[in-house]
Amino acid sequence: SATTCTSCPQPLLLLYTNCYDKCPTGFYPSPNTNICLMCEGLVTNCAECVSGGCLKCKDNFYLSKANNATSYSCVSSCPAGYYADTSNKICLKCTAANCLECTSPTQCTKCAATYYSFNGACLLSCPTGYAPVNTAGVLSCAPCKQGCK
């Protein structure tokens, strides 16, 4: 009929029963046909995408390409070794040396085994004036009591 499309002439793209110049947000053009496909079908919780993958996740989700993944996924919390960049809605790798978990590139919250957590850094030993503390296998540095070096 005049108001319901089942196909569109090139270069227009079909979405449901309408033709568009470009796919609306939440959809991407199929690489083989001139139809718009849902981002959700490509990547769960994806809000904006291209045929190659997700560009932006839905609210409360972060783009993640962790652990040598070949494409982005959308996650509600970033995996170990990554932190949530809330302004860009993406998981970024912790860059502090010997850090397993962080809240920013250089603010470590969990260090690798045998490293002591101290002011967001991971150290092989505690600095002067601080004593090593082992709390259930988590190593940290605490201020010395009087008489301690």
Per-residue pLDDT of the chain (149 residues; tens, 9 = 90+): 467 788 898 889 999 999 999 988 888 888 788 899 888 777 889 888 887 788 899 999 999 987 667 778 999 999 989 999 999 999 999 999 999 999 999 899 999 999 999 999 999 999 999 999 999 989 999 999 876 66
Find the length of the chain. Answer: 149
Report how far residue 115's alpha carbon sits from residue 89's, in angstroms, rounded to the nearest whole number. Answer: 30
pTM over 0.95: no
Report CA torsion sign: 87, 92, 96, 98: positive
Which residues neighbour 71 within 8 Å (Cβ) at sequence distance 6 or greater? 43, 52, 53, 54, 65
Q: Are 14 and 21 in contact (CB under 8 A)?
A: no
Report how far residue 74's alpha carbon sits from residue 63's, in angstroms, rounded to the nearest whole number. Answer: 5
Compute CA distances 119 → 96, 108, 113, 141, whole Å.
12, 8, 17, 9
Nearest to 26 by CA among 42, 7, 10: 42
Report how far residue 115's alpha carbon sits from residue 102's, in angstroms, rounded to the nearest whole number. Answer: 14
